[in-house]
């Protein structure tokens, strides 16, 4: 149990959570703990410590050099994997505070959720999956767990970050989407915030980078409705004002919808614990209309943005670089940095090479490719 005592007579973590959180929230004192037991911290709760461990990890810092949808060559203003993660954490905390869920757990889950992404986003993931298809495959969600359990090593006493089972369960849920286990509301909420965030910011970035126009978006149900409202409010709004307000209103509408829909449903229940929510298989949902409108927007983004010829080219170039580097490092023994060579002993060369490549930023991947191909000339 969490016996953290309040410094200088302030509230303990347990007292604070008891006073603020809803009965259905995950409480620190109910945590199932860590794989390697540790003494509790005297003023930070377990999920606060997890949040800090993730924030201070090398894998988290590398997110600044990993693309979300658009690459560093395409400008300086669009989202990176890091700023996406920060937006998810911010929106998830807003939702969590309104629903009186555990914000510390939510923030830890949000900062962690994309930590296993390889260079070049889903293109990189698909390339590594192909390289490793006969060696267990590759998924960024599973790699997030490997980073947290084995590869990050800030502590001398145990491998990994030794996160609580609640944070690892959240990532495990992402890695095993077909699992019958219904996760905690905090885990579900971060998933919902992820979707709200990328729908809003991918739309915003795609207009700013001229992949699509506001006129295109006015033909879709959700963005069309919001654009008409904005034009009514600001009758002489220029395109930049329209775009910025659209991104804002897309988030506002989705957050409000989830809060209203969920509050109405939670009022009909009398959950007394987080476990009760999971046993009852309660799921956070948005309204049916918004779900349909989001699907329409996501299909549009897929066809017009993610599969745009410019991104297809980025995708195939990145996949070529990763596959070529994979073959190179598999063939050349002792070619990896020392700690990656050590992993060969436990997981075999192909997977150790996969981990090395997955840990790279986009820029470092390009740099290694240039070095390896120059040396081969």
**Which spans of this chain sit near Mg ion (rule: CB under 5 A)?**
114, 194
Q: At closest approach, how far in Å is the CB of 110 from Mg ion? A: 9
Shortest Cβ 55–Mg ion spacing (Å)? 16
Q: Smallest distance from the beta carbon of 198 to Mg ion, in angstroms? A: 6
Give the residue with the Cβ less far from Mg ion, 177 or 281. Answer: 177
| Nearest CA among 162, 122, 123 for reference residue 141 | 122
What's the rounded Cα separation, in Å, for the pair 64 and 313?
22
CB of 281 to Mg ion, least distance (A): 24
CA distance 3 to 205: 46
Q: How far is the CB of 197 from Mg ion (least distance, A)?
A: 7
Q: Rounded to whole angstroms, how far apart are CA atoms 329 and 81? A: 26
* Both tokens assigned to 115: 């930590």
The distance of closest approach from Cβ of residue 286 to Mg ion in the complex, given in angstroms and rounded to an integer, is 17
Burial 347-358 (b: 16+ CB within 10 A, else e): eebbbbbbbbbb
Please list, in sequence order, all residues whose beta carbon lies within 8 angstroms of the beta carbon of residue 38, skipping any fewer than 6 positions away: 162
Nearer to Mg ion, 110 or 163 (CB): 110
**Where are the extended beta strands (E) located within 40-85?**
none
Minimum separation from the CB atom of position 114 to Mg ion (A): 4
Cβ 296 to Mg ion shortest distance, Å = 21
Q: Give the DSSP letter of residue 151.
A: I
**Nearest Cα residue to 113 out of 205, 203, 201, 193:** 193
Lookup: tokens for 76: 């300086």
Q: Going by C-beta distance under 8 Å and a sequence separation of 6 or more, which residues neighbour residue 375? A: none
Nearer to Mg ion, 192 or 217 (CB): 192
**Between 104 and 194, whose beta carbon lies closer to Mg ion?**
194
Number of residues that this document lists for the chain: 377
Nearer to Mg ion, 203 or 340 (CB): 203
Q: Residue 299's CB: how many other CB atoms inside 10 A? A: 11
3-state DSSP helix/strand/coil percent for the chain, to nearest 5? 65, 0, 35
Cβ distance to Mg ion smaller for residue 172 or 194: 194
Q: Based on CB atoms, which residue is closest to Mg ion, 125 or 194?
A: 194
Alpha helices, DSSP H, located in 267-308: 274-279, 288-301
For Mg ion, give the closer residue by CB, 109 or 151: 109
């Amino acid at each position: 149990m969490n016996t953290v005592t309040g410094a200088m007579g302030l509230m303990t973590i347990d007292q604070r959570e008891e006073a603020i959180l809803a009965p259905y929230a995950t409480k620190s004192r109910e945590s199932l703990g860590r794989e390697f037991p540790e003494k509790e911290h005297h003023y930070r709760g377990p999920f606060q410590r997890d949040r800090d461990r993730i924030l201070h990890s090398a894998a988290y810092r590398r997110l600044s050099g990993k693309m979300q949808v658009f690459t560093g060559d395409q400008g300086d203003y669009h989202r990176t994997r890091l700023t996406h993660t920060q937006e998810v954490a911010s929106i998830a905390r807003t939702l969590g505070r309104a629903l009186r869920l555990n914000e510390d757990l939510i923030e830890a889950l949000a900062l962690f959720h994309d930590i296993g992404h390889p260079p070049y986003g889903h293109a990189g993931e698909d390339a590594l999956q192909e390289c490793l298809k006969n060696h267990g495959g590759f998924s960024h969600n599973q790699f997030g767990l490997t980073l947290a359990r084995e590869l990050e090593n800030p502590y001398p006493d145990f491998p990994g970050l030794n996160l609580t089972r609640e944070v690892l369960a959240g990532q495990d849920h992402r890695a095993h989407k077909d699992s019958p286990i219904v996760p905690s509301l905090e885990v579900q909420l971060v998933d919902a915030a992820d979707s709200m965030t990328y729908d809003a910011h991918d739309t915003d970035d795609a207009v700013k980078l001229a992949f699509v126009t506001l006129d295109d978006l006015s033909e879709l149900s959700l963005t069309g409705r919001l654009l008409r409202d904005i034009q009514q409010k600001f009758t002489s709004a220029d395109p930049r004002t329209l775009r910025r307000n659209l991104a804002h209103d897309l988030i506002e509408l989705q957050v409000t919808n989830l809060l209203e829909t969920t509050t109405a449903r939670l009022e009909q229940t009398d959950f007394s614990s987080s476990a009760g929510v999971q046993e009852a298989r309660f799921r956070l949902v948005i309204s049916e209309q918004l779900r349909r409108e989001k699907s329409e927007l996501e299909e549009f983004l897929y066809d017009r943005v993610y599969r745009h010829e410019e991104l297809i080219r980025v995708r195939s170039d990145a996949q070529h670089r990763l596959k070529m580097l994979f073959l190179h490092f598999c063939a050349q023994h002792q070619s990896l940095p020392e700690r990656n060579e050590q992993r060969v002993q436990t997981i075999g060369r192909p997977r150790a090479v996969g981990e090395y490549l997955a840990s790279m930023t986009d820029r470092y991947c390009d740099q290694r490719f240039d070095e390896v191909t120059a040396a081969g000339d």
